[in-house]
Amino acid sequence: MHNEFTAIVEKDGDLFIAYCAEVPGANGQGKTKEECLANLSEAISLILEDRRQDALRGIPDDATPEVVSVE
């Protein structure tokens, strides 16, 4: 699945820190901007997968899950 999110990146001393406004709780840090963004990307992925698993636990037994792609 491909999605794009907004990363807000700031410099804090020797580190870069970033958060994603669209995914509350997703943040990353790193010694380089690239490392920071990679960590943020991983955090977003983990949060979204956790939310997906939580949501799927609540579907009725007779419901049929389908995949929808968003471009």
- pLDDT tens per residue across span 43-63: 999 999 999 999 888 899 899
**Of 35, 6, 9, which is closest to residue 23 (Cα–Cα)?**
6
DSSP state of 63: -
* Residue 59 DSSP SS3: coil
* Residue 15 DSSP SS3: strand
**Whole-model pTM?**
0.84
Q: How confident is the model at residue 1 (pLDDT cuts 50, 70, 90)?
A: low
